[in-house]
Structure 1
Amino acid sequence: MKTKAGCIVEITIIKNSNPKTKPDQNNLGFGNYFTDHMFVMDYSTEKGWFDPRIVPYGPLELEPSAMVFHYGQETFEGLKAYKNAEGKIQLFRVRDNLKRLNQSNERMCIPQIDEELMFQAIKKLIEVEKEWVPEAAGTSLYVRPFVIATDPFLGVRPASTYKFMVILSPVGAYYKEGLNPTKIFVEDQFVRAVPGGTGFAKTGGNYAASLKAQVEANKKGYSQVLWLDGKERKYIEEVGTSNAFFKIDGKIYTAPLEGSILSGITRDSAIKLLRDWGYEVIEQKITIDELVAYHNEGKLEEAFATGTAAVISPIGVLAFKGNDMVINDGKIGEASQRLYSEMTDIQYGKAEDKFGWITIL
């Protein structure tokens, strides 16, 4: 295969001699099972990225002093492979995920990776693991590319050696509620990210910073948290690992991309679909107090979150300062339902792909 720069690269394949028994497709959950193989490629300042290979899935051997453990220099992505009605496997906006991984890499001082090489690595790995792509309704094969710093060194600086890897996991619904509206807690004590930080990058530290608030919200009976901005703690940002949308008096609002939230690919897909249907989508800051006022005036018609894992997650309840705001009588809204149906139909090859989002393997 050729990289974007025209270099010819061969991917070595070492087959797993002890394949696993595949799990029940109707009881997958999310992130519980992993396929028989993984992709691995190494980096050094002397060689650049080298030795791309597909090997049996298994433990890594790293020094206890590997820098990823101590300074968190790592990035990752998440996308899905789907099986269409003809039995072909297809990916949704894979090139956008790979572009975003390199944007995260740049922020975390990780060397850029040839995007064509990453695509070919994912394609080849899925070809090897094609029997792992589930066919049950609502299931898919989750694809997790990631990079870790591997230098055995205790000092704060960018590493000089890395591993780029891809692992695969057959998955069902991300939330146990499925498409049923979730209960979300508005977090006004803890903060996850601030402008100028790493909020826009997919790096583990952002998610580690969110765990405390999520645990506290779960204790109170809520599925996730709605984050406010880290500076003034009043502007709405995102829901847990997803981008947030609000339908207010017929218009749809979502937070602008200003460096503290993720540039969601599902977010962008939702915006494009909504605008194509004639909705006015406004990327604008909204305070939590404004949202409460809209709810009290009966103008908050629906709310939902978007992300690769759950696709569309309707919000039925927002809890803020001891009050539960019930949205649309706790039912899924019209825009949320249409977005979920249209986007998943495109992903599974049931609807026209007018935006060129699908790559058939």
Structure 2
Amino acid sequence: MTTTHDTFPLRFELTPSEAVRAESEREAILADPGFGRFFTDHMVSIEWTTEEGWHDAAVVPYGPITLDPAASVLHYAQEIFEGLKAYRHEDGSVWTFRPDANGRRLQRSARRLALPELAVDDFVESLKQLVRADVDWVPSADEQSLYIRPFMIATESFLGVRAAHKVGFYVIASPAGAYFSGGVAPVSIWLSTNYSRAGKGGTGAAKTGGNYASSLLPQEEAYQHGCAQVLFLDSVEATYIEELGGMNVVLVYKDGTLVTPESDSILEGITRDSLLQLAEDRGHRVERRRVTIDEWREGVESGDIVEVFACGTAAVVTPIAELKGEGFSVGSPDAQPGPLTMSLREELTDIQYGRRPDVHGWLTRLDA
């Protein structure tokens, strides 16, 4: 049976899954979901063509996507994605955090990858449609959430090198456990001097899979040196800090100033910008500017830099205890999380889970 939900301007059709997991199976998964291991019963699908624009919006049973072997995404990597979470509040309602910002970032990524832009209202509505269909998959345990992954791929079967004339937008969701199951733990990170994440004028500011693929080999190098993440420098001078493989970086100075690297090859982090806004609300000065690796090293050694943290959707905030590179290390692997780092993390997660007021209007309800 197929039912419809009217939205403007897209009309979503709902085809309920005939293979919905039993409550007992779902509860067993939610007891220990991990990250990205299990998926909900439904997904969103929206088609686009140059002739019809966006059309055929639907919530359908979760399952494989059929692609022709000549689909453009498989050959020319025309692909972008987003990541955000749904949080269950104490009263049982389900909310997400700044989805409009994710929708605008998806549009910027689409422009860079020559893909069509999906209206922000339609982007947000697609999240609502999926969560309403699979609301029972949103966990209620502490620090758990439903991770939502919207993505767009070029589906046209054509081997010519040009922007695809047929595209698919999809949304899938996966229950996520607490990132730090034993409490927030500071990490050591590895400075990559052999590889760059993105080049000048490249796709670094877009959220596209190629950026992450290029980080995987240096990430393995980081693991080999006992580090949890890899830090990249700019590709032109190999001097300026950019970001980690999948997270932004923030330095905290002893006078309370927060500094984050700025570059046209860094992905604009929604979590990062939210944390910086909360810091400004408290009266801290915030600087978005170019930062050299020497400034980081010398600042930690002199005591001018008192805290460093990474931030992103999955972990929210990860304290950085030590920076390691070829022939040097700064900080200590045994360092404790900084007080401002932890305070900002607590404030942001309290807002996301509805434990304190949302004065900036960042939350959007998904289940109603």
Report the TM-score, using the length of structure 2 for normalisation. 0.93
Aligned to 2:15: 14
Pairing 1:69-148 to 2, within 5 Å after superposition: 69-148=74-153
Give 3-state SS (helix, strand or coil) of 1:330's partner: coil
Q: Report if the CA contact (8 A) 2:249-2:309 is conserved.
A: yes
Correspondence for 1:273 among 260, 278, 301: 278
Match of 2:3 in 1: none
Of 21-30 and 195-204, deviating more is 21-30
Task: Write the distance in 2 (CA, Å) between the matches of 1:224 and 1:177.
Answer: 19
Higher mean alpha-carbon deviation, 339-348 vs 273-282, is at: 273-282
Mean CA deviation greater in 114-123 or 301-310: 114-123
Deviates more, 1:185-194 or 1:328-337: 328-337
| 1:162-211 deviation per Cα after TM superposition (whole angstroms, max 9, x unaligned) | 10000001002346775210110011110011231110000111111111
74-83 or 326-335, which deviates more? 326-335
RMSD in angstroms over aligned alpha carbons?
Answer: 1.5
Determine if contact 1:248/1:299 at 8 Å carries over to the other structure.
yes
- Asked if structure 2 preserves the Cα contact closer than 8 Å seen for 1:200 and 1:259, the reply is yes
Contact 1:229 1:236 in 2 (8 A): yes
Does the alignment pair 1:340 with 2:345? Answer: yes
Q: What's 1:200 paired with?
A: 205
| 1:298 Cα offset (Å) | 2.0
Tell me how far 1:247 sits from its aligned partner.
1.1
Q: Deviations over 1:111-141 (max 9, x none)?
A: 1112212211210110010000001111000
Aligned to 2:11, the other structure's residue is in SS state coil
Write out aligned runs for 1:36-47 (5 A): 36-47=41-52
Deviations 1:30-51 (A, max 9, x none): 1111000000011111111111
For residue 225 of structure 1, report the CA deviation from its aligned partner. 0.7
1:178/1:215 CA distance change after superposition, 3 Å: farther
Q: How many residues are aligned here?
A: 356
Q: Distance in 2 between matches of 1:119 and 1:262?
A: 21
1:163 and 2:168 aligned: yes
> How far apart, CA to CA, are the structure 2 residues paired with 1:43 and 1:232?
40
Q: CA separation in 1, counterparts of 2:364 and 2:291? A: 36
Letter in 1 for 2:20: P
Task: Find the aligned partners of 1:11 and 1:187 in 2 and give their Cα distance.
Answer: 45
For 2:302, the aligned partner's letter is E
State the 1:24 CA deviation. Answer: 3.5
Are the aligned partners of 1:105 and 1:111 in contact in 2 as well (CA < 8 Å)?
Answer: yes
Q: Which residue of 2 aligns with 1:61?
A: 66
Structure 2 alignment gaps of length 5 or more: 1-5
Task: Name the aligned partner's letter for residue 82 of structure 1.
Answer: Y
> Is residue 303–residue 327 contact of structure 1 (8 Å, CA) maintained in 2?
no
Q: Would the aligned equivalents of 1:42 and 1:52 in 2 still touch at CA under 8 Å?
A: yes
Cα distance in 1, alignment partners of residues 164 and 289 from structure 2: 38
Provide the rounded CA distance (Å) in 1 between the counterparts of 2:329 and 2:311.
22
Question: Does residue 32 in structure 1 map to residue 33 in structure 2?
Answer: no
SS of 1:11's equivalent?
strand
Whole-angstrom CA distance in 2 between matches of 1:117 and 1:31: 24
TM norm structure 1: 0.95
Does residue 232 of structure 1 match 2:237? Answer: yes
CA contact (8 A) 1:75 1:148 kept: yes
